[in-house]
């Protein structure tokens, strides 16, 4: 039976948990942004059949936690479905017995977790608060797509094992592998992410795909299961837009900013020094930028387009590392007009850049 553990709001929560594991000692990391050493410790807690990873930033509470005892947490931040952070605005109290299911599988503490994640069934990986390694049969493969203005290849697989079927999203070199329906594959370092109300497994910068011997015990999808993915745009063929000769003629504006250092967040802009995706606060050493250009093609003049650092770098075939807006403008102005051949998507981004 679940007790009063319901969400109080989208990211602040009151929850009662039985503590099953606790870090042996206080852990630290360096916040690159503030150059401050951060201290924390981890707990694994259970309520009913739900398992949570709790990161505690309240050092004064380290001795309060004992394995097997139950605690009430108030005002904790919900980082993801099964990850909670206890911060200076949270409160912790001893509480009565919390119901837990007996045959629950406990994940290791994050510091004990292998770098690529634990080997888990697809069903468990979808609920795991940390990274996992999953193995399954490929029952559907999407066409390769290119996002981030054509610079990042993306491919989705539907992977099936004896416990569940899940969509697995791959990026970069992993997306370029030659997957075929029926292949058995092991995918490491994936974590659950909710996309369009469905929990999928998303790859990270550490993810590796390895082909395994065939397994006839896992069936391909029957029609009804297959239809579940029919309307998923990732599995539909990408329409190829016509290649155009593009001339970037003028610069309207440049925005330069700090981005999340987490590779999986792919240059997400930090808002108030926090990453909107992973809630991390560490920025990359090198800033990211976007530029609004005026451009013309053989058919149109005086058009506007916003291009990001990676795309501009791809167009002019150079690495671009700048730390100020003025440096970006000065460098780019000297290159104008910038020519390239590319396809322009209906929402005005470039891909297939040549
Ligand atoms: Zn991030």
Is residue 276 over pLDDT 90?
no
Q: How far is the CA of 252 from the centre of ligand 1 (A)?
A: 28
| Distance, CA of 91 to chain centre | 29
Q: How far is the CA of 274 from the centre of ligand 1 (A)?
A: 8
The predicted structure's pLDDT at residue 248: 96
The predicted structure's pLDDT at residue 167: 96
Q: How far is the CA of 6 from the centre of ligand 1 (A)?
A: 27
Q: How far is the CA of 344 from the centre of ligand 1 (A)?
A: 28
Q: How far is the CA of 263 from the centre of ligand 1 (A)?
A: 8
Distance CA 308, CA 299 (A): 24
Q: How far is the CA of 161 from the centre of ligand 1 (A)?
A: 30
Q: Are residues 119 and 197 in the same domain?
A: yes
Q: How far is the CA of 267 from the centre of ligand 1 (A)?
A: 8
Q: How far is the CA of 31 from the centre of ligand 1 (A)?
A: 13
Q: How far is the CA of 228 from the centre of ligand 1 (A)?
A: 30
Bond into 337 cis (ω within 30): yes
Q: Are residues 229 and 117 in the same domain?
A: yes
| pLDDT more than 70, % of the chain | 95
Q: Are residues 261 and 328 in the same domain?
A: yes
Pick 197 or 126 by higher pLDDT: 126
CATH of the domain at 74: 2.40.50.140
Q: Which residues lie below 8 Å from residue 254, measured CB to CB, with a gap of 6+?
A: 289, 290, 291, 292, 325, 328, 329, 332
Is residue 142 over pLDDT 90?
yes
Tell whether 59 is covered by a domain.
Answer: yes
Ion ligand 1: residues, Cβ under 5 Å? 260, 262, 265, 275, 277-278, 280
Tell whether 338 is covered by a domain.
Answer: yes
Q: Are residues 228 and 304 in the same domain?
A: no
Tell whether 153 is covered by a domain.
Answer: yes
Q: Are residues 176 and 276 in the same domain?
A: no
Q: Are residues 267 and 186 in the same domain?
A: no
The predicted structure's pLDDT at residue 149: 65
Tell whether 7 is covered by a domain.
Answer: no
Query: For the residues 92-108, what does the mean pLDDT come to?
Result: 90
Residue written as token pair 């490491």: 188
Q: How far is the CA of 83 from the centre of ligand 1 (A)?
A: 15
Q: Are residues 226 and 287 in the same domain?
A: no
Q: Where among 172, 200, 235 does a domain terminate?
A: 235
Each residue of 279-311: pLDDT tens digit?
888 999 899 999 999 999 998 889 999 999 989
Spatial contact of 109 and 154, defined as CB atoms under 8 Å apart: no
The predicted structure's pLDDT at residue 2: 38
Is residue 1 over pLDDT 50?
no
Tell whether 3 is covered by a domain.
Answer: no
Q: How far is the CA of 264 from the centre of ligand 1 (A)?
A: 7
Is residue 109 over pLDDT 80?
yes
Q: Decide: residue 325, CB within 10 A, 0-12 exposed, 13-18 middle, 19+ buried.
A: middle
CA angle 337, 340, 345 (to 5 degrees): 115
| Confidence bin at 127 (pLDDT 50/70/90) | confident
Query: For the residues 110-131, what does the mean pLDDT come to?
Result: 87
Each residue of 15-62: pLDDT tens digit?
999 999 999 999 988 877 787 889 999 999 999 999 999 999 999 999
| Confidence bin at 152 (pLDDT 50/70/90) | confident
Q: How far is the CA of 205 from the centre of ligand 1 (A)?
A: 12
Q: How far is the CA of 260 from the centre of ligand 1 (A)?
A: 5
Q: Decide: residue 332, CB within 10 A, 0-12 exposed, 13-18 middle, 19+ buried.
A: buried
Tell whether 6 is covered by a domain.
Answer: no
Q: Are residues 123 and 73 in the same domain?
A: no
Domains: count for the chain = 3
Q: How far is the CA of 196 from the centre of ligand 1 (A)?
A: 20
The predicted structure's pLDDT at residue 11: 65
Q: How far is the CA of 80 from the centre of ligand 1 (A)?
A: 13
Q: Which of 251-260, 265-274, 302-311, 345-354 has the lowest mean pLDDT?
A: 345-354
Is residue 66 over pLDDT 70?
yes
Q: Are residues 262 and 225 in the same domain?
A: no
Tell whether 71 is covered by a domain.
Answer: yes
Q: How far is the CA of 275 from the centre of ligand 1 (A)?
A: 5
- Among candidates 290, 258, 288, which has minimal Cα distance to 273? 258
| Confidence bin at 174 (pLDDT 50/70/90) | very high
Q: Where among 203, 235, 267 does a domain terminate?
A: 235
Number of C-alpha atoms within 13 angstroms, CB side, residue 64? Answer: 16
Q: Are residues 97 and 144 in the same domain?
A: no
Domain hosting residue 259, numbered range: 243-351
The predicted structure's pLDDT at residue 352: 80
Q: Are residues 229 and 147 in the same domain?
A: yes
Tell whether 37 is covered by a domain.
Answer: yes
Is residue 241 over pLDDT 80?
no
Q: How far is the CA of 279 from the centre of ligand 1 (A)?
A: 6
Q: Are residues 117 and 231 in the same domain?
A: yes
Whether the pTM exceeds 0.75: the reply is no
The predicted structure's pLDDT at residue 8: 39
Is residue 170 over pLDDT 90?
yes
Spatial contact of 295 and 311, defined as CB atoms under 8 Å apart: no
Q: Where among 82, 107, 132 does a domain terminate?
A: 107
Q: How far is the CA of 249 from the centre of ligand 1 (A)?
A: 34
């Amino acid at each position: 039976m679940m007790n009063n553990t319901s969400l109080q709001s989208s990211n602040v929560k009151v929850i009662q948990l039985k503590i099953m594991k606790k870090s042996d000692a206080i852990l630290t990391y360096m916040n690159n942004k503030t150059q401050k050493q951060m201290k924390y410790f981890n707990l694994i807690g259970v309520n009913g059949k739900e398992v949570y990873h709790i990161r505690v930033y309240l050092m004064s509470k380290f001795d309060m936690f004992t394995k097997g005892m139950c605690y009430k947490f108030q005002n904790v931040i919900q980082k993801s479905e099964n990850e909670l952070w206890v911060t200076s605005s949270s409160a912790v109290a001893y509480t009565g017995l919390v119901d837990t299911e007996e045959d629950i599988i406990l994940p290791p503490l994050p510091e004990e977790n292998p770098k690529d994640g634990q080997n888990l069934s697809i069903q468990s990986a979808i609920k795991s608060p940390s990274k996992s390694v999953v193995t399954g049969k490929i029952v559907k493969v999407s066409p390769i797509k290119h996002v981030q203005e054509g610079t990042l290849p993306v491919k989705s697989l539907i992977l099936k094992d004896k416990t569940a079927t899940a969509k697995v999203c791959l990026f970069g070199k992993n997306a370029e592998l030659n997957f075929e329906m029926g292949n058995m594959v092991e995918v490491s370092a994936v974590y659950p992410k909710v996309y369009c109300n469905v929990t999928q497994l998303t790859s990270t910068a550490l993810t590796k795909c390895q082909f395994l011997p065939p397994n006839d015990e896992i069936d391909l999808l029957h029609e009804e299961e297959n239809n579940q993915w029919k309307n998923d745009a990732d599995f539909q063929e990408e329409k190829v837009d016509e290649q155009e000769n593009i001339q970037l003629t003028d610069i309207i504006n440049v925005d330069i900013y700090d981005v999340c250092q987490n590779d999986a967040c792919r240059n997400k802009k930090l808002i108030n020094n926090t990453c909107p995706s992973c809630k991390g606060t560490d920025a990359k050493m090198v800033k990211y930028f976007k530029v609004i250009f005026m451009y013309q093609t053989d058919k149109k003049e005086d058009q506007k387009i916003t291009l990001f650092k990676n795309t501009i770098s791809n167009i002019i075939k150079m690495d671009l590392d700048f730390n100020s807006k003025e440096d970006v403008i000065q460098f780019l102005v000297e290159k104008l007009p910038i020519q390239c051949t590319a396809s322009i998507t209906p929402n005005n981004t470039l891909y297939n850049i040549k």
